[in-house]
């Protein structure tokens, strides 16, 4: 599967923001993307969002 590129991550963050704004559940989106995130700070932020959803 490999790591997410900056473009992949930017597109994902845009999609995640739309899901959050619409009130749609997004835990599964986060679970799929987390293993692909290389940046520690971004990983921690996304992990915190996942934990808040669970």
**If pLDDT is split at 50, 70 and 90, which confidence band does 53 have?**
confident
CA quadruple 52, 33, 7, 46: dihedral, nearest 10:
20
pLDDT tens-digit map of 9-46: 999 999 999 999 999 999 999 999 999 999 999 999 99
What is the C-alpha separation between 3 and 21, in angstroms, rounded? Answer: 26
> Model-level pTM?
0.86
């Amino acid at each position: 599967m490999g790591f997410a590129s900056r473009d992949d991550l930017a597109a994902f963050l845009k999609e995640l923001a739309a899901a959050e704004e619409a009130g749609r559940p997004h835990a599964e989106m986060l679970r799929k993307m987390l293993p692909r995130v290389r940046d520690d700070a971004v990983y921690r932020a996304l992990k915190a969002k996942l934990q808040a959803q669970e």
